[in-house]
Amino acid sequence: MIAVALHIAAGAVALALAMNVWRLLRGPALGDRIVALDTMVINAIAMIVLIGMIGGTDIYFEAALLLAMVGFVSTIAFCKFVLRGDIVE
């Protein structure tokens, strides 16, 4: 039962990633692209967690945690760059 649910969940997350790519390429505003990238990072974390559950290992946890931190910092840096023209003032 869990194996089937895991594969359904992985398919749903993959579909969500494809939708995010569509919004990333389509735009139209710059804000939309930032939101799409931020959502793609969160969906990638979900995918890593699902892969860890499918493989039955715990070693993907650090990758997911690091990706969460790097994704947040990159979103904030991108927004700061658009707002102020500079990241560290």
Determine which residue in the list 25, 58, 59, 89 makes contact with another protein, applying CB under 8 A.
58
* CA 30 remoteness from chain centre: 18
Q: What residues from 13 to 52 belong to the interface with another protein (CB under 8 A)?
A: 13, 15-17, 19-20, 22-23, 28-32, 34-36, 38-39, 42-43, 45-46, 49-50, 52
Tokens read off for 75: 């979103």
User: Is residue 87 involved in binding another protein (CB under 8 A)?
Assistant: no
Cβ-proximal residues to 42 (8 Å cutoff; 6+ apart), any chain: 68, 71
In the complex, the smallest distance separating the C-beta of residue 72 from another protein, rounded to whole angstroms, is: 4
User: How many residues appear in the chain?
Assistant: 89
